[in-house]
Chains A and B, each alone.
Chain A
């Protein structure tokens, strides 16, 4: 059954909303934006064909309110809702609501979201599909600490206590030794209960230095499913990815074939429809373990787009219309290499603390091999309420070396003032010898930069920055002194007059 999609409501904000709108425009589809009070003049609102105010800044009162989104969909006459990532993207209840209201949810069915959103059920699904999962053990609610300890011993310390309903590192604890297990079970359970309304936890073997490698899949409603190769996302902080690339530096055609077909088997086993990601942890001996499935378009999807030449949002819409995939596995080839750097309004030196404010200057890089998916423009405010991602820089090269050097060039070309960003951090990491060698693991950042000191300024840059500061002050003082002399015959030093001007007390006698 094929359904028409002429108008799409984008239930999101920032760069991903803009990204989805671009695909809509390419396809001649009308886009509908929703915005909270503090997003009135946000870039995604300016990009949209239609825009609706949906309430106060907190997302629980705007972007996350099912009724408000559905109401706008109806009022605007939208045929479909694209949830982007985050917010309602992996919310089975919302997806069900769309089905009930006769609106197309661009994503998998509520059943699939529910199945794969439960990490224990997702593991079962992967096992059924013949994949390896990291050794682990389910915990029975009736288990006492001795039973839990026995299971943990069987898995082998260090173990990971994980929330069944978890995500984003919440409800997760690394337990190095048996005496720390009880506390970890309790705290992780509590955290999971409050974050996900589900306090179930389970045990998983903790891999010491794994790589995070994931496969992009596309499945239509007719049982066709393909994978679009892998993305390596090992550069993470607080279990959040910051640099992603495709292909993985360790990938071989054989391993890709093996992991890709495994990913497709999991997708088929779960009745997957749409674009999704099967995540794996890859051990140092290249054994790959199923980690989880993300039932949404991911932040890092552009690296796959750059090496496959596909537009994943267009593919999502195509699938949502009920059409058959236009590609079969043999049509898909990865060309060159792509790297994505997530530009966050954060201070890497301060443990990636969010930095809010107004962009006083904002000029983007361009040129060969450079793509920027930005959610902001000059003078945009970065509110405190949402994810602090402001843009993604994606570069493509014939090979990894070219992709990295283009990323370095583009990062240097950025002109951003008014906020702290992760641009300098990326320049440092992309210059790291181990990174350049492709020697990655999810421990990369904590091993290489244990103190979060990412600002490695060279002497030349320090000196030039010092000159810039001195010159700025000198020019200002000269101007003030000259203005002052205009009004007075008194000969006065520029430094003293500068302080007079700024209403500070001076110390030149006449007190």
Chain B
């Protein structure tokens, strides 16, 4: 099971994929699709997407997230990211858990490069809190609103797992 975020021509697709009994099952933006894939050699394959035939050639430079899909005589640029990593990147790395706890948890595993705050600091919206490295990218995690830092649970150089508590606000 894997989940991706694919961008085609500015349009985003949330795709979950699963392999079961020789077939691929996808949920694309909430819609279920069944796919059979037959390799045609090199990067080309024949896809039967809900029984509709499409000959495709997906090309990229090694493990580049940018791909080019050649299909129906068209050349279509695409971008793909692991769904969770995309979320991490989008929210500048982390997501706030609002509500009673007012704490910040790691949405993905990564490495804390730098901690830019200490307990007692008053932070303003947009102020950098952490630099977290994930997927070779440094993500600056910013405060989403004004708050006072109550506790910091990580330090520079520390690896964190998904769900680890990073910081608590008052």
**Chain A residues near B (Cβ < 8 Å):** 360-361, 411-418, 420-421, 423-424, 427, 455, 457, 459, 461-475, 477-478, 494-495, 498-499, 502, 504-505, 507-509, 511
Cα of A475 to Cα of B159 in the assembled complex, Å? 29
B residues near A509, Cβ cutoff 8 Å: 109, 159, 161
- Please encode chain B, from 46 to 71, with 1 for each CB lying within 8 Å of some chain A CB and 0 for all others: 01010010111111001100011111
- B37 CB within 8 Å of chain A: yes
- Given known pairs A415-B55, A417-B57, A511-B111, the reply for A467 and B159 (CB within 8 Å) is no
Give 16 CB contacts A-B under 8 Å: A361-B42, A412-B72, A416-B70, A463-B28, A465-B69, A468-B47, A468-B54, A468-B58, A471-B24, A471-B37, A472-B45, A472-B58, A473-B2, A474-B4, A502-B62, A507-B135
The chain B residue sitting closest to A427, CB to CB, is: B73
Chain A residues positioned under 8 Å from B135 (CB to CB): 499, 504, 507
Q: How far is the CA of A424 from the CA of B62 in the complex (A)?
A: 25
Does the CB pair B75–A424 fall under 8 Å? yes
Q: Is B6 an interface residue (CB 8 A)?
A: yes
Give the residue of B2, B11, B69, B133 whose beta carbon is less than 8 angstroms from that of A469: B69
A462 near B8 with CB under 8 A, answer yes
Known: A471-B17, A471-B35. 20 other contacts (CB 8 A): A415-B57, A416-B70, A416-B73, A416-B75, A417-B70, A417-B75, A461-B72, A462-B8, A462-B9, A464-B52, A465-B8, A467-B35, A468-B69, A469-B78, A472-B58, A473-B2, A475-B37, A478-B19, A494-B2, A509-B161
CA distance A495 to B65 in the complex (A): 13
Q: Which of A457, A477, A502, A508 contacts B74 (CB 8 A)?
A: A457
Which of A461, A499, A507 is B159 in contact with, Cβ under 8 Å?
A507
Contact assessment for A477 and B2 in the assembled complex, using a CB-CB cutoff below 8 Å? yes
Q: How far is the CA of A426 from the CA of B158 in the complex (A)?
A: 55
Cα distance A361–B49 in the bound complex, in angstroms: 22
- Chain B positions near chain A (C-beta within 8 angstroms): 2, 4, 6, 8-9, 11, 13, 15, 17, 19, 24, 26, 28, 33, 35, 37, 42-45, 47, 49, 52, 54-59, 62-63, 67-76, 78, 80, 82, 108-111, 133-136, 159, 161
Task: Tell me, rounded to whole Å, the shortest Cβ–Cβ distance linking A464 to chain B.
Answer: 6
B6 and A474: CB pair below 8 A? no
For the complex, give the distance between the alpha carbons of A475 and B45 in Å.
Answer: 12
Please judge, given known A-B contacts A469-B6, A508-B109, whether A415 and B70 are in contact too, CB under 8 Å.
yes
* Complex contact B159–A470 (CB within 8 A): no
C-alpha spacing A424/B13, complex, angstroms: 22
A310 vs B71: C-alpha distance in the bound complex, in angstroms?
35
Nearest B residue to A423 via CB reads B73
Residue of A nearest to B158 (CB): A511
**Chain A interface helix/strand/loop/mixed:** helix
State the Cβ distance, B39 to closest chain A Cβ, in Å. 9
A465, B26: Cβ atoms closer than 8 Å: no
Number of A-B pairs whose CB atoms are under 8 Å? 151
- From A411, A417, A455, A462, B59 is in contact (CB under 8 Å) with A417
| B4 x A468 contact (CB < 8 A) | no
Closest B residue to A501 by CB, please name it: B63
Inter-chain contacts of B43 with A (CB < 8 A): 360, 417, 472
Q: Considering the chains assembled together, what is the distance between the CA atoms of A84 and B67 in angstroms? A: 38
Q: Tell me the bound Cα distance from A411 to B75 in angstroms.
A: 12
CB distance from B65 to the nearest CB of A (A): 9
In the complex, what's the smallest C-beta–C-beta distance from B44 to chain A, in angstroms? 6
- Inter-subunit contact A457/B73 (CB<8 Å): no
Chain B residues whose C-beta falls within 8 Å of the C-beta of A415 in the assembled complex: 44, 55, 57, 70, 73
Q: Among B17, B67, B71, which residue has its beta carbon within 8 angstroms of that of A461?
A: B71
- Judge whether A465 and B76 touch: CB under 8 Å: yes
Question: Cβ of A505: which chain B residues have Cβ within 8 Å of it?
Answer: 136
Nearest B residue to A502 via CB reads B63
Knowing A470-B4, A470-B6, the reply to whether A465 touches B136 (Cβ < 8 A) is no
Please measure, in the bound complex, the distance between the C-alpha atom of A421 and the C-alpha atom of B68, giving whole angstroms: 13
Q: How far is the CA of A465 from the CA of B78 in the complex (A)?
A: 8
Chain A nearest CB from B89 CB (Å) reads 14
The 6 closest A-B pairs by CB, nearest first: A466-B13, A472-B58, A466-B6, A424-B74, A470-B15, A468-B56
- Tell whether, in the assembled complex, residue B15 and residue A467 are in contact, meaning their CB atoms are under 8 Å apart: yes
Q: What is the bound-complex CA distance between A417 and B73, given in angstroms? A: 9
CB distance from A370 to the nearest CB of B (A): 13
By beta carbon, the residue of chain B nearest A496 is: B109
- Contact check, B80 vs A470: say whether CB atoms are below 8 A apart: yes
Min CB distance B21 to A, Å, is: 15
Nearest-neighbor residue (CB-CB) of B26 within chain A: A467
CB contact under 8 A between A467 and B47, given known A462-B9, A505-B136, A507-B109: yes
A412 touches which one: B4, B73, B80 (CB < 8 A)? B73
**For residue A360, which residues in chain B have a CB less than 8 angstroms away from its CB?**
42-43, 57, 59
- Residues in B with CB closer than 8 Å to A457 are 8-9, 74, 76
CB distance from B62 to the nearest CB of A (A): 7
Q: In this complex, which of A423, A468, A499 has the most chain B Cβ atoms within 10 angstroms of its Cβ?
A: A468
Q: Which residues of A contact B161 (CB under 8 A)?
A: 509
Chain A nearest CB: distance from B13 CB in Å? 4
Most buried by B among A361, A465, A475, A511: A465
The residues of A that contact B76 with a CB separation of less than 8 Å are: 455, 457, 461-462, 465
Q: How far is the CB of B75 from chain A (nearest CB, A)?
A: 6
Contact B28 A361 (CB under 8 A): no
